[in-house]
Structure 1
Amino acid sequence: MIDALLDRLSALDVRLAAGPGGVLRYDAPRAALTDELLAELRDHKRELLGRLTGAEVIDRAPVSDQQARMIAGHHAAPHSEVWNIPTRISFTGALDPDALRSALTELIARHHGLHSRFVRPEENTGGTGAEEDAGAGTWWQEVVVPPPLDLPVEDLTGLPASEREPRSEELCRETAAGGFDLTQPVLPRLRLLRVAEDRWALMFVLHHITADGWSLSLLLAEIAELYTAAAAGVPHALDPPGAQSTDYARWQIAHHDPETEARRAAYCAAYLDGVPSGVPVPTDRPRPERLSGRGDTVRGLASGEVRAAVEEFAAARHTTPFAVAATALGVFLAGLSGERDILLSVPYANRQGTAFESLVAMTSTAVMVRVRLDPAESRAALVARTGEGAMGAMAHVLPTARIMRAMREAGARDVPDRVPHILAFQNSLDTDIEIPGLRVEVEDLAPPLSRGELCFGLAPCRDRARGYRTFLEYSADLWNRGTAEDLLSSYTALLAEFCAFPDRPVSDLLPTAPTPPTTGKADAV
């Protein structure tokens, strides 16, 4: 049918092209554009785009709420590559590149979210004979047949030994910083480097629209399982995913309930009533009207002793390690700013039901957590109160924009557009993987950018004795790297001190005369 339609279009001198955003464009004589022909173009748009792009569509659905927000964030960001998830997997030992290629091919084929593109729905704006747009509107996701995997080995062993590591680092960071076009299949960006006879580096770069922290853990574990099976020449033992990204979006639409949303919005508005719109943390430079997106990430470790103290504190008070870490961060920011009511944005996995446990997609959303200090209160009491509030917020999860709208509707006068301080407590992110015969190291290789002002992160290591991996993503418009390193180490130190004496008052951790902000405005950006 499509072949016959293409033959007729050719005879009528109608030329088709795939335009940005998954639109179908045509250039044709005015007389050829009958209503019947335009209807045929609409009806067969997907098949025609598949022919034009060489990507056959195998499933299609509206985007999920999270995907829609990510598309908006991608296009709004000064540097869209800030949404990259760049992971370097280093192997030491006798790596089999063919087995790795086979494993990655199977990995991509297993998960629809790793071979999807994002397009407009099938609409037609009409035509006048010049080049016209045959589709525009809100976004949809289209799953396409993944193309053959191209993973050549880039061998650096021919370079002098002193040049190999610097060249590998340069190539890896170049790969990490490349942008994605969401209207084309958003495949993982892959690059395999041989750095020495027995040392290899695989760059595995995702766009955040395809995966969250939970998904990354799944993918890394599957790479290990698939590679091990391929290297041994045996079938893998992985079960098929319980759901795909399109299934999740359809489930979300089917379960949308305006009454539930309104109830959740009212709860969140009440929970956040009176929270300050900004926290005046001192900066190295005046805050600009708009952040440029420039930034960086500093990293560290919190010892096994600190982790043990956090977990013992939480267990003794029947709360969670997250509640302890969030409360301590609130106290830390209060000490810097003099503000006693701190609002944190916390990424939340938001996985509902066992069907979504094996889903590779972006399901995470932000939860607002309030740390409201009473200096005379004990640290344990503050943790209990903060943890209770966080649990309530998670039970009433909504997109941040919807919460802010609810606050305005409830009469709040000073509502931030976004929350400048984030705590990423990544207890669902496990990057420690094991492959027989190889030593494997996994490293985040984030480009020198920042999504906001300050994002503090804690990720528990699989080996409890190693404690937490810590990080701070910061805006270079506001802080120098040295300051960011001090902020991260100071927070880690306060977390340890906070847990050491749970029955002491919070006031012991606060300066008697808080230092006012040296520069900038207090408003959230």
Structure 2
Amino acid sequence: KGMLFYNLMDSQSGAYFEQASFDLRGEFNIAAFAASLDVLVQRHTVLRTNFYSGWKDEPLQVVYRNKRSELYVEDLRDMEDEQQNEYILEFTRQDKQRGFDLAQDVLMRVAVLRTGEESYRFVWSFHHIVMDGWCLSLVTNEVFASYFAILAHKQPELAPVTPYSQYIEWLEQQDRQAASSYWSKVLEGYEEQSRLPQAKIQGKTGYQAERLDFDLGAELTAGIQRIAKRYQVTINTLMQTVWGLLLQKYNGTDDVVFGSVVSGRPADIPNVEHIIGLFINTIPVRIRSQVDSVFSDVMKQTQEQSIASHVYDTYPLYEIQGLSELKQDLINHILIFENYPVEEQIEQLGSSEASSFTITGAESVEQTNYDFNVVVLPG
């Protein structure tokens, strides 16, 4: 509902548009790939859905019995290298700009740009509303498993599908009243937004993403792991605590809230880690300390909050915001702890024995509706 709301407010914003691109080198059969993409879309209901907002004021996700996948193929072999590179950059930019019409478009599309006799550039785009980043490797693994089976004239051996509707049914059985009371209590008495220092930019420039990468190095990483182990907390908890204390310093307060992204896949549903669909949610993390607080105590408190909120972490963020004094202003940035490097998983696709190609240069782009995202990648 939150993503649909942002889309209806500004369908051109690019928020929640997801795009992964990679290079494939080697023998590649486009007809077999198109067939395997169709198999994927037929198997997973969520990839045959659209979203309507006008039915009795309730948004609906409608599942179609039949919907073809969307594959675009273009041959760029008659272009010089430099011209090809420019064309691919522009194509990728325009694909993002095109976005998705949630009520009409196929909400996942693949473009294959042929760059040489045995080289291709893939641009794989989807709207976050149908699936989360975790699904991208599930989807690509399945498509290529079908692809190799089709080439070998065999039936693809794919695991039975657990439909996304099982999760929707599970969600509808949750105790909304208990979740509402829990989050009201977590946010009780919190009245001032935690902000980060930011520059005032003259004139409206729109969304311009910039990515800054920092490597913590082996020594500091080992130290982080040691402390987490000593106090029996997760590295995510340690990072959240550090971030919370930093925010406290910037805001001259001992009480801050920021957003944290949770995977949202309930262990009660068998095979949940293989379901293709949207599960993630953003929940508030509140970090409080006293003048004489010891870091390890604040960290343990954060871990306890994390365990307690886990039961309620599928409660929608817009509902949680509604319970707070600050409403929409409760959260202005998010911290994401990612256990799965999507790019690496895509590049491993070409490393199986059946493979006649290799995959390199994988990169993924995503945009949220926050001005600032902190992403922690362990490893």
Work out which of the residue numbers 310, 318, 322 in structure 2 matches 1:405: 322
- Displacement, 1:148? 4.3
CA distance in structure 1 between the aligned counterparts of 2:156 and 2:221, rounded to whole angstroms: 35
Larger Rg: 1
Distance 1:350 1:452, change over 3 A: same
CA distance in structure 1 between the aligned counterparts of 2:205 and 2:128, rounded to whole angstroms: 20
AA partner of residue 93 (structure 1): G
In the alignment, what sits opposite 2:309? 393
Q: Is the 8 A contact 1:77 1:293 kept in 2?
A: no
**Pairwise mapping of residues 81-92 of structure 1 onto structure 2 (< 5 A)?**
81-92=14-25
In the alignment, what sits opposite 1:298? 211
- Displacement, 1:152? 4.7
**In the alignment, does 2:252 pair up with 1:338?**
yes
Normalised by the length of structure 2, the TM-score is: 0.85
In the alignment, what sits opposite 1:5? none
In the alignment, what sits opposite 2:36? 103
In the alignment, what sits opposite 2:358? 439
Distance 1:145 1:187, change over 3 A: farther
**In the alignment, does 2:169 pair up with 1:250?**
yes
Aligned residues: CA RMSD: 2.8
**In the alignment, does 2:44 pair up with 1:142?**
no
In the alignment, what sits opposite 1:328? 242
CA distance in structure 2 between the aligned counterparts of 1:293 and 1:313, rounded to whole angstroms: 41
Q: Is the 8 A contact 1:116 1:185 kept in 2?
A: no
SS in 1 for 2:158: coil
CA distance in structure 2 between the aligned counterparts of 1:146 and 1:299, rounded to whole angstroms: 42
- Displacement, 1:190? 1.7
- Displacement, 1:168? 1.1
SS in 2 for 1:189: strand
Work out which of the residue numbers 184, 193, 200 in structure 2 matches 1:269: 184
CA distance in structure 2 between the aligned counterparts of 1:292 and 1:157, rounded to whole angstroms: 37
- Displacement, 1:156? 1.7
CA distance in structure 2 between the aligned counterparts of 1:268 and 1:139, rounded to whole angstroms: 24
CA distance in structure 2 between the aligned counterparts of 1:316 and 1:287, rounded to whole angstroms: 48
AA partner of residue 197 (structure 2): P
Runs (5+) with no aligned partner, structure 1: 1-67, 122-134, 409-413, 461-466, 468-525
**In the alignment, does 2:375 pair up with 1:457?**
yes
**1:245-291 C-alpha deviation (Å, 9 max, x unpaired):** x34323433x14xxx32233222222222334322422110699xx9
In the alignment, what sits opposite 1:212? 132
The alignment covers a number of residue pairs equal to 367
Q: Is the 8 A contact 1:345 1:369 kept in 2?
A: yes
AA partner of residue 370 (structure 1): R
**In the alignment, does 2:359 pair up with 1:426?**
no
- Displacement, 1:300? 2.3
- Displacement, 1:219? 1.5
Distance 1:145 1:329, change over 3 A: same
CA distance in structure 2 between the aligned counterparts of 1:390 and 1:287, rounded to whole angstroms: 39
CA distance in structure 1 between the aligned counterparts of 2:28 and 2:205, rounded to whole angstroms: 41
SS in 2 for 1:423: strand
- Displacement, 1:380? 2.9
Distance 1:407 1:451, change over 3 A: closer
CA distance in structure 2 between the aligned counterparts of 1:301 and 1:341, rounded to whole angstroms: 27
**1:471-512 C-alpha deviation (Å, 9 max, x unpaired):** xxxxxxxxxxxxxxxxxxxxxxxxxxxxxxxxxxxxxxxxxx
Normalised by the length of structure 1, the TM-score is: 0.63
Distance 1:450 1:152, change over 3 A: closer
**In the alignment, does 2:98 pair up with 1:178?**
yes
Distance 1:421 1:276, change over 3 A: farther
In the alignment, what sits opposite 2:228? 314
CA distance in structure 1 between the aligned counterparts of 2:70 and 2:372, rounded to whole angstroms: 38
Identity over the aligned pairs, expressed in percent? 22
Work out which of the residue numbers 278, 290, 312 in structure 1 matches 2:193: 278
- Displacement, 1:144? 1.6
Work out which of the residue numbers 261, 264, 287 in structure 2 matches 1:347: 261
Q: Is the 8 A contact 1:370 1:390 kept in 2?
A: no
- Displacement, 1:427? 1.9
- Displacement, 1:107? 1.6
CA distance in structure 1 between the aligned counterparts of 2:39 and 2:231, rounded to whole angstroms: 45
- Displacement, 1:354? 1.8
**1:22-48 C-alpha deviation (Å, 9 max, x unpaired):** xxxxxxxxxxxxxxxxxxxxxxxxxxx
CA distance in structure 1 between the aligned counterparts of 2:327 and 2:73, rounded to whole angstroms: 52
CA distance in structure 1 between the aligned counterparts of 2:39 and 2:217, rounded to whole angstroms: 37
Q: Is the 8 A contact 1:78 1:293 kept in 2?
A: no
AA partner of residue 186 (structure 1): V
Q: Is the 8 A contact 2:50 2:103 kept in 1?
A: yes
CA distance in structure 2 between the aligned counterparts of 1:91 and 1:292, rounded to whole angstroms: 35
Q: Is the 8 A contact 2:134 2:340 kept in 1?
A: yes
SS in 2 for 1:295: coil
Q: Is the 8 A contact 2:41 2:67 kept in 1?
A: no
**In the alignment, does 2:274 pair up with 1:358?**
yes
- Displacement, 1:347? 1.6
- Displacement, 1:314? 2.1
Distance 1:358 1:380, change over 3 A: same
AA partner of residue 373 (structure 2): C
Q: Is the 8 A contact 1:95 1:198 kept in 2?
A: yes
